[in-house]
Structure 1
Amino acid sequence: MTASNERSEILAAQRNDDSFSTLFEELEWRGLVHVSTDAEALSNLLEGESFTYYCGFDPTAPSLHLGNLVQLLLLRRIQLKGHKPLGLVGGSTGLIGDPRPTAERTLNSRETVAEWVGKLQAQVTRFLSTEGENSVRIVNNLDWTAPLSAIDFLREVGKHFRVGTMLKKDAVAARLNSDEGISYTEFSYQILQGFDFLELYRQYDCKLQSGGSDQWGNLTSGTDLIRKVEGVSAHAIGTPLITNSDGTKFGKSEGNAIWLDAEMCSPYAFYQFWLNQADADVIDRLKVFTFMSRAEIEDYARQVEEEPFRRAAQKRLALEVTTLVHGAAATQGAIDASAALFGQGELSGLDAATLAAALSELPTATGAEGSSVAQLLVDTELVKGLGEARRAIAQGGVYVNNAKVEADDAVLAAGDLLHGRYAVLRRGKKTLAGVVAA
């Protein structure tokens, strides 16, 4: 099956849950509405005739991440209701970047931003249907901002914004109170995003914008501008920022975002991220990141309560989201790698890329044919010293590629280096490390 056909099958299988009386009710149950414009009017809009709506994605990196996935799935749920999505990739706003809480962004070159625009456009398209009367349309705000002169922009758009209101926006206020302050460039970002909504309203009769709740000030800059200029009401949905039950930011691993691009976050690492979700968080993740029904999710909630040791909900979550993002084959490869690493499958059956990705998540040491296994145990910090390494081997608790090491003077043989480069060390049942040939 081609990637295109698989993607079509994944999209075709997605459904909204008809156990809810309205889509807005389902969105609230899934925890996707932190703040919105008039809830009753918005619910009626979603239940009415087909209309156009959008979400913007700035090319500040060469890939989207899990926070963006929340928006993509919200767009898809609304598309399944029959409405028409616009995926805006910000070729102009990406040249500036929305204000971060603490410091100015480093501005990327025009060439870099243009390259990233293309990559993000392709990613957005993968999660939304490109078929039918409500197929996704990809737009770039550089198309309508580039032709404007600074004078035209100030006269036609800037005059509708009040500085006092702009200063009250959370992102701006946070920066004003920081040591870094805020430049006029980033201060102006909310005007550009507001102008996007106005332009999309004019071109496509776009009536709704979604985004993270931390973007609420930028979202309402658009609804306010449309009301002032066109005299009509537009809508916005702010999704909650997804956090873990302990309050830490979701989607961060040692300071790095969980990217949707397989080259930036391997399918194996992606799968493991979901598999390791805490019991306290996993049901909320199923609600947000899968199209599973309310009945299915409530059954998994019961299993988490009654049989948490089975981790059934985590396994289903990892399967669903990894398949959604990377496809069935890559997901199966991640599952096979997980099993093989812990002695439940053949490591030799893993392709080099999957094995390399799996080992990148483990402590590793450099080794070669003839390297002492005991020394490699020390080098990978599976043990504290050679004496402990020899005792572990003597007790029968050390494995190379799932084969028990029998002698304390054992060395790596040529055949131990899978794909000529990799070996897996295991101490006991669950403690793993990798060996990579120089």
Structure 2
Amino acid sequence: MTGDPAVRGSGVIDDLVARGLVHDHTDLDALRARLDDGPTPTYCGFDPTADSLHIGNLQSIMLLRRFQDAGHPPIALVGGATGMIGDPSGRSDERQFLDAEVLDANRAAIANQLGRFLDFDGPAGAVVVDNRSWTEPVGVLEFLRDVGKHITIGTMMAKDSVKSRLERESGISFTEFSYMLLQANDFHVLHAERDCDLQVAGSDQWGNITAGIDLVRRRTGDVVHGLTAPLIVRADGTKFGKSEGENIWLDPARTSPYRLYQYFLNVADSDVEPLLLRLTTVPVAECRAIAEAHADAPERREGQRALARALTATVHGPDALEPIEEAAAVLFGDRPITDVAPATLELLASEVPSSTARRSDVLGADPLDLLAADGVALAKSKGEARRNPDGYSVNQVRLPARDGAPVGEQDLLHGRFLLLGRGKRNHHLITVGA
């Protein structure tokens, strides 16, 4: 992962601006000078409150990736200490506490996940750190003296993350109020021990970042930098988050590659260009060209297709694309199911309603019986399917074309799959056993 020579050093800032990835920042000229001066360790924090990151975190992961591609070593802080407290930013209620064992398991899973996006070798190799390693040994009095002394209550009260909670009836506990001090101390420790001069994050972290910048300045006299990007939000304006409703997870066991692909295949036309720019490594000029071509014929959804392909390849690797696109073409396009590989049918079995059946129960069976069977129920009854046979299919062949033929060995795809359908959108895949 060597990066594009055109965006080495401070060139990454121009790339971020072009991609719409700059929301708040300290002095950009001073930051450019620091980046041009040499490799600038850059840190971003991730909450280990689940065993996977989600699509809302992907922008921050890719921020680290972009700085790494420009020659600046990423520091991914997976916060075992701050994870015990819970960040109040952007929340209307207090987080539930997790014990150390759960947090450790989550942290290990996330560290492993980050290895899919960041390069941990080479001169700009990434590192994963846990702030519990330097927070736990510090006593309360020492922390109050060395950190609390330098941050005023007035400064903390002025932060949006605190003000918004104070305006609610639930308020904010002292525990969450102290979160800002812990994160500020993280920046100071990483600056002192790892020469970290830049923190990046989503825009909801700006108050915490500036608290860290102030603490470093007050304790050392050094100048460090901060930069945030606009949050990735859903169509209703809410941000993606582990506790903010249904999520698109980066772990394939939580959100399958097929489902991730389908999610981005169905985003609004207006989201295509910004998501391409902000979540992928597709060059800016190419993103613009895709968006322009899409605007000329939005009904073809080529922009969404390019976005879904790029994001699926980024998150799950390019090898995941072929079976996903084959499966989508079978379900929603005109790809004959008889042409697809067993891997595609296995993928379909995990994505559409499916069941297993004994060979003796399938071979020789009337398709009408299978369509109305318990566990399939594409037809309410055998009579319903008989009255409207053209609405039902076996392996994409409508029932009238079968002339009442029972299911035979020749119908089993790769000797073990049978796809039943009602209309264009309702399917059930039977996997036939011994």
Could you tell me which residue of structure 1 aligns to residue 399 of structure 2? 405
How far apart are residue 303 of structure 1 and its match? 0.9
Matched, 1:392 2:388: yes
In the other structure, the counterpart of 1:132 is 122
- Equivalent position to 2:73, from 84, 87, 107: 84
Question: Within 2, Cα distance between the matches of 1:146 and 1:378?
Answer: 53
CA contact (8 A) 2:10 2:36 kept: no
Please tell me whether the aligned partners of residues 70 and 289 of structure 1 are also in contact (alpha carbons under 8 angstroms).
yes
Q: TM-score, normalised by structure 1?
A: 0.85
Please state if 1:55 is matched with 2:51. no
The answer as to whether partners of 1:87 and 1:137 remain within 8 angstroms in 2 is yes
Once structures 1 and 2 are overlaid, which stretch shifts more, 86-95 or 335-344? 335-344
CA RMSD of aligned residues (A): 3.3
The C-alpha deviation readout for 1:151-201, integer Å capped at 9, x for no partner, is: 211121112121222122222222222232222111111111000000000
Residues 187-230 of structure 1: per-residue CA shift (max 9 Å, x gap):
11111100000000000111100111011111111111111111
Q: Are 1:34 and 1:240, in contact at CA under 8 Å, matched by a contact in 2?
A: yes
Residue 23 of structure 2 corresponds to 34
SS at match of 1:236: strand
Identity, % of aligned pairs? Answer: 42
Conserved in 1, the CA contact under 8 Å of 2:184 and 2:208?
yes
Contact 2:165-2:171 within 8 A present in 1 as well? yes
Go from structure 1 to structure 2 and tell me whether the alpha carbon gap of 1:159 and 1:248 turns closer, same or farther (over 3 Å shift).
Answer: closer
When residues 229 and 251 of structure 1 are mapped into structure 2, their CA distance, relative to the original with a 3 A threshold, is closer
User: What secondary structure, in the 3-state scheme, does the structure 1 residue paired with 2:275 have?
Assistant: helix
In the TM superposition, what is the alpha-carbon distance from 1:286 to its structure 2 partner? 0.9
Equivalent residue for 2:145? 155
Tell me the equivalent position of 2:109: 119
Provide, for residues 209-265 of structure 1, a one-character-per-residue CA deviation record: whole Å limited to 9, x for no partner. Answer: 011101111111111111111112211111101235664546899931111111011
1:59 and 1:113 in contact (8 A); partners too: yes
Q: Is it true that 1:349 corresponds to 2:342 in the alignment?
A: yes
Matched residue, 2:82: 93
Report if aligned partners of 1:59, 1:120 keep a CA contact under 8 Å in 2.
yes
Q: Which runs of 5+ in 2 are unaligned?
A: none
Distance 1:275 1:104, change over 3 A: same
Cα distance in 1 for residues equivalent to 2:406 and 2:238 = 43
More divergent stretch after superposition (291-300 vs 257-266): 291-300
Q: 1:373·1:412 contact (CA, 8 Å) conserved in 2? A: no
Match of 2:421 among 419, 426, 430: 426
Q: Cα distance 1:246–1:17, how it changes in 2: closer, same or farther (>3 A)?
A: farther
The alpha carbon displacement at 1:392 in A equals 3.5
1:170 and 1:258 mapped to 2: Cα distance?
Answer: 27
Structure 1: tracts of 5 or more residues without a match: 1-10
Letter in 2 for 1:349: P
Are the counterparts in 1 of residues 394 and 419 from structure 2 also a CA contact under 8 Å?
yes
SS in 1 for 2:168: coil
The worse-fitting range, judged by mean Cα deviation, of 288-297 and 264-273 is 288-297
SS in 2 for 1:350: helix
Aligned to 2:318: 328
d(CA) in 1 for partners of 2:296 and 2:227? 35
Separation of aligned partners in 2, 1:17 and 1:424: 50
Q: Residues of 2 paired with 1:16 and 1:250: CA distance?
A: 33
Counterpart in the other structure of 2:56:
67
Between the aligned partners of 1:300 and 1:378, the Cα distance in structure 2 is 43
Q: Secondary structure at the match of 2:80?
A: coil
Q: Distance in 2 between matches of 1:349 and 1:437?
A: 11
Q: Does the CA contact (< 8 Å) of 2:42 and 2:199 recur in 1? A: yes
Give runs of aligned pairs for residues 211-222 of structure 1, distance below 5 A: 211-222=201-212
Cα contact 1:356–1:422 (8 A) shared by 2: no
Distance 1:417 1:173 in 2: 63
Aligned partner of 1:372 in structure 2 is 369
- Distance in 2 (CA, whole Å) between partners of 1:146 and 1:336 is 51
Q: How does 1:171-182 map to 2 (within 5 A)?
A: 171-182=161-172
- Identify the residue that residue 279 of structure 1 maps to in structure 2: 269
Amino acid in structure 2 at the alignment position of 1:42? L
Q: 1:196 aligns with which of 160, 172, 186?
A: 186
Amino acid at match of 1:310: R
3-state DSSP class of the match of 1:434? Answer: strand
Name the stretch that deviates more: 74-83 or 122-131.
122-131
Q: Which amino acid aligns with 1:372?
A: D
Deviation at 1:54, TM superposition (A): 0.5
State how many pairs are aligned: 419
Q: Which moved more, 1:250-259 or 1:169-178?
A: 250-259
User: Which residue does 2:200 correspond to in 1?
Assistant: 210
Aligned with 2:298 (options 285, 303, 308): 308
